[in-house]
Structure 1
Amino acid sequence: MPSISQKGRLMPESPIRKLVPYAENAKKRGTKVFHLNIGQPDIKTPQVALDAVKNNSIETLSYARSEGSEIYRTKLTKYYANHNININADNIIATTGGSEALLFTICSITDPGDEIIIPEPFYANYNGFSTASGVKVVPVISKIEDNFALPKIEDFEKLITSKTKAILICNPGNPTGYLYSEKEIEKLKQIVLKHDLFLIADEVYREFAYDGLNHTSVLSLEGLEQNAIVIDSVSKRYSMCGARIGCIVSKNETFIKTAIKFAQARLSPPTYALIASEAALDTPQSYFDDVKAEYVERRNTLVSELQKIEGVKVANPKGAFYCVAELPVDDTDDFAQWLLEKFHHNKETVMVAPASGFYSTEGEGKNQIRMAYVLKIEDLIRSVEILSAALKQYNS
């Protein structure tokens, strides 16, 4: 029998999607499943984006440019200017989702055996794409006791070796919802300049910063032009996860020219999705104001309800729409599967993401889960009620 590659064997399963078969089986048994496992907002997609596809008169659906249409990228520069990021269209490559942007970035700046430092817990695909590229993730651990704040700068510096090529952050964070302050971003700037590294920032949740706090982009800092790379996407911003349009943004000309070669190899991002994404840029600010207010209310509800459960510890997210909770169980992978396979509360259960998949350090996050507060308030309250009942039965 032909053998599978070493990197294929090492490729981690998605902590978000690996339990889907169990959820589907639960539904077949007549159990309603509340999906807190995945960041799929129930917020409506802006109508202007949907209409751009629905009312289009295209007769031949042709390839787009590998880097995305010039009209889309030019329009994007105006969006970024409104966020204190001054770039031109040549600094942007449109990609098939933020995931492809991450993959192209890692492929462009690393060779097999190189290292990327990432504060953990982190978005699970960082691990997957690094594995696929033969790159080693070097984790620096942030703690739920500190609300997942940026670890000390000394913790980063002691991990830097001759193989280190970049520091990668998600801001605001997935899965923690942590929002890095301008001071913290400035500290990271000093590290990457000192050691001549890239600073990659996944900023797909830029719009979702709460409690009067502001988001600081790595591209807004002077002196970081050759080191900063931003990963972005329309998925969460406009509730357009299925469009699969993201982008890479950087003022480093050599990096962009390298990444374009990977973009050319996959031909082009999807044309209809580019059309929808271009139209979405006309979404009024009131849309984001309403969405942010809704997520703040959902966050407050989920956190306050979780705090009522004995033995549960929960971080208070300042952005995005996720939170990490520590449960009074030894293994949340087992617990999450049990919720779907063997438990229901009045024919209802919840699906959560075991947090161990958001860590690369062996044994970390085994008693944690990530929950996405992308459901309406009453569903979040019911979900926590189910979770509370499940913990009592699981631990009995």
Structure 2
Amino acid sequence: MLTISEKGIQMPASPIRKLTPYADKAKAEGKKVYHLNIGQPDIATPEGMLNAIKNIDFNVWAYTASEGTLSYRTKLTEYYNKLGYNISPEDILVTVGGSEAITIAMQTCINEGDEVIIPEPFYANYNGFACMSNVVVKPILSYIENGFALPPIAEFEKLITPKTKAILICSPNNPTGYLYSRAEMEALKVLCVKYDLFLMADEAYREFCYDGREFVSPMHLSGLDEHVVLLDTVSKRYSACGARLGCIITKNKAVIQAALKFAQTRLSPGMVEQIAGTAAVDTPDSYFEAVNKEYTLRRDTLVKRLNNIDGVFCPNPGGAFYIVAKLPIDDSDKFCQWILEHFNHEGATVMMAPATGFYSTKGSGKNEVRMAYVLNTEALNRAMDCLEHALKQYPGRTLA
């Protein structure tokens, strides 16, 4: 009898996409579905990026270098050095999306069976990347009550064993929107130096920091060059999720050389994407200023609406475009399916992501959901109208 692999069985399904069949069925039944489940912005991609694609002029759609074209990597150094990262093109490996960057980084820096500590809740696909790489995730809980702040360093130290090889962070955070402070980043630096650990930093949401708050990268910290492995993508920065273009950045030469060998096995990142990515670096600051203003308005709208619903609590995030909210429900997986299958308000319903999929610790997130405020404020308000009515009707509602 034919069987699939153990890894195929163990590979976790995406909590962000697993309810798609129920959303599709709801739409087929004529319901309007407000998609707050996935970080697909409705913001326009920069015009310069799109024009670069429209004006492409080549006769052969050829392979590029496995590490990415020199022209793109050179252009990227302009962007990163403007941020104070002080890197060269040789410190960059271009990847097929941020997802490949994370997977290659795990396979490069962590042996099979060794461990990476990740504050949770965390981006759900980290579990999948770890499964693919045979890496063990050691979660460390952060809590909604204090806005998902970084857990105390003493709690990290309790998890460190001879098998611990790295700490992986995401700031601003997906799914919580939490933005790490300089003090928190300095504390992580001390820990990584003390125990000789890699500090992997997912900076997909770097541009989205609100209320004038400071963004601090591990690249801004002195004495950490050999430890930092930065993971990035154009998906969110330029509202170009379909471009599938990311990168690994590190000043650790051994890491970049080993990562290149993994990159060579998939041959190369796309030529067209890199042409577009090169043009994207010249996107004017005014674009980001307008986007930041729009997301701040959406965040304020969503957080206010949520906290005005009886029994709901939602901390105010400092960045990204996600929130995790605690609802008066028995089970977020059941609720997120129920609201698609069995509920509508004026012909509409809401698709959310159960927060359980963003935790590795069993039982966590059972009464929490993640929402992405990637819709305009009118749509967000209508979605919250749906949620407020749904919570009153849901059979598994719990007492506030």
Please classify the TM superposition score into its range, dividing by the shorter chain length: over 0.9
1:225-240 matches, within 5 Å, as: 225-240=225-240
Offset at residue 221 of structure 1 (A) = 1.0
1:269 aligns with 2:307: no
2: distance between equivalents of 1:351 and 1:85? 38
Structure 1 CA distance for aligned equivalents of residues 220 and 66 of structure 2: 26
Map Cα deviations across residues 136-176 of structure 1 (whole Å, 9 max, x no partner): 10011000001000000000011000000100000100000
> Residue in 1 aligned with 2:96?
96
Equivalence for 1:21 = 21
The corresponding residue for 2:279 is 279
Describe the SS at the equivalent of 2:84.
Answer: coil
Corresponding residue number in structure 2 for 1:206: 206
Contact 1:204 1:237 in 2 (8 A): yes
> Any unmatched runs of 5+ in structure 2?
none
Partner of residue 318, structure 1: 318
Whole-Å separation in 1 of the counterparts to 2:384 and 2:146: 23
CA deviations on 1:307-337 (whole Å, 9 max, x unpaired) are: 1111111121100000000111111111111
* Residues 164-243 of structure 1: pairs in structure 2 closer than 5 A: 164-243=164-243
**CA deviations over 1:78-103 (Å, ceiling 9, x no partner):** 10111111100000001000000000
Q: CA deviation at 1:302?
A: 0.1
- 1:222 deviates by 1.0
Name the counterpart of 2:290.
290
Task: Provide the residue aligned with 1:8 in structure 2.
Answer: 8
Deviations 1:6-55 (A, max 9, x none): 22211111010111111111111111110000000000000110110111
Cα distance in 2 for partners of 1:309, 1:62 equals: 55
Inter-partner Cα distance in structure 1 for 2:330 and 2:267? 46
The 2-side partners of 1:334 and 1:50 are apart by 41
How far apart are 1:135 and its partner, in Å?
1.0
Q: CA deviation at 1:271?
A: 1.1
Report the Cα distance in structure 1 between the residues aligned to 2:145 and 2:262, rounded to whole angstroms: 41
1:3, distance to aligned residue in structure 2 (A): 2.1
Q: SS of the residue aligned with 2:127?
A: helix
The 5-angstrom pairing of residues 1-396 of structure 1 reads 1-395=1-395
Residues 53-62 or 94-103, more deviating: 53-62
RMSD: 0.8
Structure 2 residue matching 1:176: 3-state secondary structure: coil
The AA in structure 2 aligned to 1:70 is: L
Q: Distance in 2 between matches of 1:198 and 1:212?
A: 29
AA matched with 2:365: G
Q: Is the 8 A contact 1:113 1:136 kept in 2?
A: yes
What letter matches 2:282 in structure 1? Answer: D
Structure 1 residue matching 2:162: 3-state secondary structure: coil
- Quote the Cα distance in structure 1 between the aligned partners of 2:176 and 2:146: 11
- Distance in 2, matches of 1:246 and 1:15, equals 22
Letter in 2 for 1:281: V
Task: Note the residue ranges of structure 1 that are not aligned, 5 or more in a row.
Answer: none
- Secondary structure at 2:231 match in 1: strand
Whether contact under 8 Å (1:86, 1:220) holds in the other structure is no
Q: What code does the residue aligned with 1:199 have?
A: L
CA distance in 2, matches of 1:78, 1:271: 20
Partners in 2 of 1:167 and 1:195 — Cα distance?
A: 11
| SS of 1:313 mapped into structure 2 | coil
Instruction: For residue 159 of structure 2, give the secondary structure of its aligned residue in structure 1.
Output: coil
Query: Displacement, 1:340?
Result: 1.2
Query: 2: distance between equivalents of 1:25 and 1:36?
Result: 17
SS at 2:94 equivalent:
strand
Percentage of matched positions with identical amino acids:
58
AA partner of residue 280 (structure 2): A
Count of aligned residue pairs for this structure pair: 396
Distance 1:232 1:14 in 2: 20
Question: Which residue identity is paired with 2:235?
Answer: S
Give the 3-state SS of the residue equivalent to 1:131 in structure 2: helix
For residue 347 of structure 1, report the CA deviation from its aligned partner. Answer: 1.2
- Aligned AA (2:176): T
Distance of 1:111 and 1:179 partners within structure 2: 29
Q: Is the 8 A contact 1:182 1:216 kept in 2?
A: yes
Give me the whole-angstrom Cα distance separating, in 1, the residues matched to 2:233 and 2:145. 30
Under a length normalisation based on structure 1, what TM-score does the superposition of the two structures give? 0.99
Contact map agreement 1:149 1:178 (CA 8 A) in 2:
yes
Partner Cα distance (1:164, 1:125) in 2: 20
